[in-house]
């Protein structure tokens, strides 16, 4: 299982039944594939859909129905369409239960840098600033490092997307929460030690009282789950 | 009152220096026929307000390539290489705005509000130079209303009086911009007689719309 | 022709073709009956309709479709329904061309008192404050006096609905505009003199350079229209 | 997810001291079945937020007559004699708000905005005690967001997941209040299976709705 799939399978365990979820472009879109069958979630696409379904078969689909990445989608029964003002009323108003998105950097104050690398081409923040400020819970799903360079830092150095908004970070190595004391490691992936994670993190890490083995959706997690 | 005209007649109301509100989201639901007609006009110094200035396949980029556009206000320009080029060459010509804030600023401009009070963007470059207001111990940015001289709008179905239906996710900014422009141009896939469109499916009232033209196959 | 009908017939000449109009409760609702056939107007009801039509026949009508006075109405082809937030976006945003409403007092600064008589039962302002601030043009349609007590004043004494908003007042005696110089009399009703109007007005009146005879919708106005 | 319950079960979530957002406009589109069920509850000190507190024929006045209501926030109370009585006996218990401002305050409460900047009410008693803000030489009132603990909503059709359609002019406050309350109760004339309601006709998404009950004949 590659890093992205580990991250997506772990993230898929976050939603509760009937949660309204927004998935960022890229890795986060994989999460929907792994959400357990007994958990019903409603996917929002910020361009104007509640109740996004799977992609249509190739050559099918209606071009009036697409998601925030510009890809055609289908909708589930009971789906709703709306304009951008209503969409961001839902987002800013705290009606989205979890927003999953990638990041360039996250720091121990929960600051998030996800939209701009200084010196590289700037593309704009889209709806990301609104989502991370407005959603009840912000879960960052990303590989632990950028080709070896730590992305979890004591303080972000890139321009911020928002201040103090990140609740949880899920990487292929660990599940880490942002707390008033700093980063707390809650879960470690199979075969990964606390020291392994510290070695690729540029901020102090606090081990949880009882670190668990990282659970993965669709994978047998019944064995002893202490690390 | 029949508002149906040709696309060329519709865009004849656009003047150099105008601020254009352009509906659509990436490559979908953009007013391609109006934009293509505008390419034939000799106007310049336009400001484009849109979610993303379209993609390489949509017509806003052609306006830019013809040198008609001086300023951009948008949330995301990653799919339009010319917008990116403008940002590099003249950073002041491109204003990047969080998507919900753009929607709310346009809504405020059309709804007679003095602005929008948002937390989004605080502590980021999106807050630079903007006034703030403290309410109940929380800080909010005061985001200004945003209006256009002309709105260019896509509709799936429009009646001859300008009442519009936008199907599925083509509502996006197409539904909110008509409140916030002095002149509203609509291109519709299908133009019908007044009364054919179910009242419960009208997203934009005809009283806001000045001209309607037929969308061409794109 | 009674005073109310004179007022309504004169007010019916105000709208231009394709105007969006809001009619207050009471006398203003009569105006729609007299608008010339070649002028198409769209009536808004602030509870959520654009394109209000006539009342249904007794015993007919759909209770889901009613106006801001609570009466059942029909809608014209091309009518639209919306919620209260959208309704007042249209109103505050300057999309209503003319709002016609009654008044208790109007003064020469264009201040309007229409919602509250001190010492009498207070019922609330409803949408009146929004309408008079937001509409492009505010036309007051009312009898010239309250049983002989002037309603056009140098300064309102009742609690205000809004400051400096009134454009025109249409009474059974005259058509009077609020200008930077004060009240200007534009038209006089048949058989009414400028002095007659001054006698029942508690503010200075300025005669227009050329006072016209008050025109009435549906009445032959072809004779000499100078007073 | 089936949200259908009895009216009694739905209103069991209302507590003494709650702020209730109640949809409807005069005698139409008010949640009569929920209000009648609430009459059977032993709760008090409620705040009623609604366009007009209904009329003599609707059930909000019964809540008042039973002494369950301590405060009112409304735009017009001329059709509910008990509201008028409250205003005379205890003026501080009744807040009268311009209709558009009430709508915008409720919207702000549900949309994560710090308030609404309006000119409406300036120079009148509606502005008394309220802070103002100068923007581009114009003065605006800063109107605070308004939220409720529970919203009581009428729908014409609602599916079992809570997606609602409001016909004709019953949209009024019924469409905007569900964004602005912690718990949302809907009574529907007709309850249908998920998928039976056309996506283009949904005015309130089910994710905002907690409980749905059948409207009784009124």
Cα distances from A200 to residues A139, A174, B120, B129, D189, in angstroms, run 20, 11, 31, 37, 59
What pLDDT was estimated at residue D217?
A: 80
In which band, very low, low, confident or very high, does the pLDDT at A223 lie, cut at 50, 70 and 90? Answer: low
B141-149: average pLDDT? 98
What pLDDT was estimated at residue A35?
A: 96
CA separation for the pair C53, C222 (Å, rounded):
30
Neighbour order of strands in the sheet with A174-179: A75-81, A49-52, A41-45, A19-23, A98-101, A137-141, A168-170, A174-179, A182-188, A205-213
Bridge-partner residues for A83, per DSSP? B172
Bridge-partner residues for B94, per DSSP? B72
Backbone dihedral angles phi then psi of residue D206, each to the nearest 5 degrees: -60, -30
Residues 6+ apart with CB under 8 A from B115: B105, B108, B142, B143, B144, B145, D117, D135, D140
What pLDDT was estimated at residue A227?
A: 62
Distance between start and end Cα atoms, chain B: 28
Domain count, chain D: 1
CA separation for the pair A188, D53 (Å, rounded):
56
Task: Give the Cβ contact number of residue B108 at 10 Å.
Answer: 27
Compute the mean pLDDT over every residue in chain A, rounded to the nearest whole number.
Answer: 95
- Chain D residue with CA closest to A89: the answer is D111
**B187 within domain boundaries:** yes
Interchain CB contact of C39 with B (< 8 Å): no
Instruction: Please determine, for residue C216, whether its predicted confidence score (pLDDT) is greater than 60.
Output: yes
Element (H, E) at D142: strand D138-143
CA separation for the pair D206, D199 (Å, rounded):
12
CA separation for the pair D202, D159 (Å, rounded):
10
Angle at which helix A84-92 crosses helix B99-111, to 10 degrees, equals: 120
- Chain C residue with CA closest to D218: the answer is C63
**D1 within domain boundaries:** no
- A-proximal residues of B, 77-96, CB under 8 Å: 77-79, 84, 87-88, 96
Instruction: Please determine, for residue C227, whether its predicted confidence score (pLDDT) is greater than 90.
Output: no
Catalytic residue among C14, C46, C172, C187: C46
Using alpha carbons only, give the angle A15, A16, A20 rounded to the nearest 5 degrees: 70
- B-proximal residues of C, 10-29, CB under 8 Å: 17-18, 20
- Our CA dihedral for C150, C153, C156, C160, rounded to 10 degrees, sits at 80
Which residue of B194, B195, B205 is in closest CB contact with C50?
B205
Instruction: Please determine, for residue A226, whether its predicted confidence score (pLDDT) is greater than 90.
Output: no
**B2 within domain boundaries:** no
D195-218: average pLDDT? 96
Instruction: Please determine, for residue B35, whether its predicted confidence score (pLDDT) is greater than 90.
Output: yes
Q: Is C25 exposed, middle or buried (0-12, 13-18, 19+ CB in 10 A)?
A: middle
Compute the mean pLDDT over every residue in chain D, rounded to the nearest whole number.
Answer: 97
Mutation to test the A interface, candidates D162, D199, D202, D208, most A Cβ within 10 Å: D199
Bridge-partner residues for A80, per DSSP? A50
What pLDDT was estimated at residue C167?
A: 98
**D126 within domain boundaries:** yes
Would you call B204 helix, strand, or coil by DSSP?
Answer: strand
What pLDDT was estimated at residue B51?
A: 98
E strand map for C30-87: 41-45, 49-52, 75-81
Residues of chain C found within 8 Å of residue D130, distances taken between Cβ atoms: none
D97-152 tens-digit pLDDT: 999 999 999 999 999 999 999 999 999 999 999 999 999 899 999 999 999 999 99
In which band, very low, low, confident or very high, does the pLDDT at C25 lie, cut at 50, 70 and 90? Answer: confident
What pLDDT was estimated at residue A188?
A: 98
Instruction: Please determine, for residue A222, whether its predicted confidence score (pLDDT) is greater than 60.
Output: no
D107 min Cα distance to partner chain B (Å): 12
Residues of chain C found within 8 Å of residue B108, distances taken between Cβ atoms: none
Task: Give the Cβ contact number of residue B15 at 10 Å.
Answer: 13
What pLDDT was estimated at residue D1?
A: 74
Instruction: Please determine, for residue C222, whether its predicted confidence score (pLDDT) is greater than 60.
Output: no
CA separation for the pair B91, C215 (Å, rounded):
59
Interchain CB contact of C49 with D (< 8 Å): yes
Check: CB of residue D108 under 8 Å from CB of residue D179.
Answer: no
Residues of chain B found within 8 Å of residue A135, distances taken between Cβ atoms: none
Compute the mean pLDDT over every residue in chain C, rounded to the nearest whole number.
Answer: 95
D190 min Cα distance to partner chain A (Å): 15
Instruction: Please determine, for residue D218, whether its predicted confidence score (pLDDT) is greater than 70.
Output: no
In which band, very low, low, confident or very high, does the pLDDT at D162 lie, cut at 50, 70 and 90? Answer: very high
A31-68 tens-digit pLDDT: 999 999 999 999 999 999 999 999 999 999 999 999 99
- B-proximal residues of C, 104-163, CB under 8 Å: 133-134
D34-52: average pLDDT? 98
Q: What is the CATH number of the domain that holds D133?
A: 3.40.1080.10
Which residue of B113, B138, B167 is in closest CB contact with D114?
B138
Strands B132-135 and B138-143: antiparallel
Catalytic residue among A14, A46, A108, A187: A46
**B155 within domain boundaries:** yes
Check: CB of residue C124 under 8 Å from CB of residue C20.
Answer: no
Q: Copy the structure tokens of residue A36.
A: 């357990």
Residues 6+ apart with CB under 8 A from D50: D21, D22, D23, D24, D30, D60, D74, D173
Instruction: Please determine, for residue B1, whether its predicted confidence score (pLDDT) is greater than 80.
Output: no
D31-38: average pLDDT? 98
In which band, very low, low, confident or very high, does the pLDDT at C224 lie, cut at 50, 70 and 90? Answer: low
CA separation for the pair D44, D57 (Å, rounded):
22
Residues 6+ apart with CB under 8 A from C169: C103, C106, C139, C140, C142, C152, C175, C176, C177, C178, C183
Q: What range does the domain containing B91 cover?
A: 7-214
Mutation to test the C interface, candidates B105, B179, B199, most C Cβ within 10 Å: B199
B142-151: average pLDDT? 98
B193 min Cα distance to partner chain A (Å): 22
**B180 within domain boundaries:** yes
> Is C134 in contact with B194 (Cβ distance < 8 A)?
no
What pLDDT was estimated at residue D144?
A: 97
Distance between start and end Cα atoms, chain A: 20
What pLDDT was estimated at residue C94?
A: 98
Backbone dihedral angles phi then psi of residue C177, each to the nearest 5 degrees: -100, 145
Residues of chain A found within 8 Å of residue D202, distances taken between Cβ atoms: 78, 80-81
CA separation for the pair B126, B99 (Å, rounded):
11
B96-119 tens-digit pLDDT: 999 999 999 999 999 999 999 999
Task: Give the Cβ contact number of residue A219 at 10 Å.
Answer: 13
What pLDDT was estimated at residue C221?
A: 62
- ipTM of the shown complex: 0.97
Cα distances from A20 to residues A128, A216, D206, D207, in angstroms, run 16, 21, 10, 7
Instruction: Please determine, for residue C225, whether its predicted confidence score (pLDDT) is greater than 70.
Output: no
- Our CA dihedral for B128, B123, D130, B113, rounded to 10 degrees, sits at 50
Q: Which domains does chain C have, with CATH numbers?
A: 3-213 (3.40.1080.10)
Residues of chain D found within 8 Å of residue B200, distances taken between Cβ atoms: 167-168, 201
Instruction: Please determine, for residue D41, whether its predicted confidence score (pLDDT) is greater than 60.
Output: yes
> Is C134 in contact with B112 (Cβ distance < 8 A)?
yes
CA separation for the pair A86, C92 (Å, rounded):
19
CA A65 to chain centre: 24
D69-100 tens-digit pLDDT: 999 999 999 999 999 999 999 999 999 999 99
Check: CB of residue B123 under 8 Å from CB of residue A163.
Answer: yes
**B19 within domain boundaries:** yes
A46 classed as catalytic: yes
**B78 within domain boundaries:** yes
Residues 6+ apart with CB under 8 A from C162: C111, C112, C129, C132, C133, D120, D121, D122, D123, D124
């Amino acid at each position: 299982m590659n890093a992205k799939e580990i991250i997506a399978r772990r993230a898929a365990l976050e939603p509760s039944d009937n949660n309204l979820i927004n998935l960022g472009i890229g890795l986060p879109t994989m999460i929907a594939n792994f959400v357990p069958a007994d958990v019903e979630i409603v996917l929002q696409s910020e361009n104007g859909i509640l109740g996004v379904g799977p992609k249509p078969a190739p050559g099918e689909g209606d071009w009036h129905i697409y998601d925030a990445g510009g890809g055609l989608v289908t909708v589930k029964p009971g789906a709703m369409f709306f304009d951008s003002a209503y969409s961001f009323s839902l987002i800013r108003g705290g009606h989205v239960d979890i927003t999953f998105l990638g990041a360039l950097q996250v720091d121990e104050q929960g600051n998030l840098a996800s939209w701009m690398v200084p010196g590289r081409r700037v593309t704009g923040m889209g709806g990301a600033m609104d989502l991370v400020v407005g959603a009840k819970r912000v879960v960052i799903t990303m590989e632990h490092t950028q080709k070896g360079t730590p992305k979890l830092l004591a303080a972000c150095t890139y321009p911020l997307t928002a201040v103090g908004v990140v609740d949880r970070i899920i990487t292929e190595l660990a599940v880490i929460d942002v707390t008033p004391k700093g980063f707390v490691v809650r879960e470690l992936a199979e075969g990964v030690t606390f020291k392994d994670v510290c070695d690729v993190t540029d901020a102090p890490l606090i081990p949880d009282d009882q670190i668990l083995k990282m659970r993965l959706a669709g994978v047998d997690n019944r064995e002893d789950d202490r690390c | 009152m029949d508002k149906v005209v040709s696309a060329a007649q519709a865009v004849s109301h656009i003047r150099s220096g105008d601020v254009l509100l352009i509906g659509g989201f990436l490559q979908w639901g953009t007013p391609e026929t109006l934009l293509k007609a505008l390419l034939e006009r000799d106007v310049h110094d336009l400001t484009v307000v849109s979610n993303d200035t379209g993609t390489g396949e949509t017509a806003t980029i052609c306006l830019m390539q013809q040198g008609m556009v001086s300023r951009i206000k948008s949330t995301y320009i990653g799919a339009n290489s010319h917008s990116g080029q403008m940002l590099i060459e003249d950073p002041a010509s491109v204003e990047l705005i969080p998507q919900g804030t753009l929607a709310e600023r346009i809504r405020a401009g059309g709804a007679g509000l003095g602005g929008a009070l948002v937390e989004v963007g605080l502590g980021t470059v999106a807050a630079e130079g903007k006034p703030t207001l403290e309410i109940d111990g929380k800080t909010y940015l005061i985001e200004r209303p945003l209006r256009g001289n002309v709105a260019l709008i896509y509709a799936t179905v429009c009646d001859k009086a300008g009442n519009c239906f936008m199907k599925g996710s083509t509502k996006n900014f197409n539904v909110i911009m008509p409140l916030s422009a002095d002149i509203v141009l609509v291109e519709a896939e299908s133009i019908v007689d007044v009364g054919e469109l179910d009242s419960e499916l009208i997203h934009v009232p005809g009283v806001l719309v000045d001209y309607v033209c037929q969308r061409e196959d794109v």
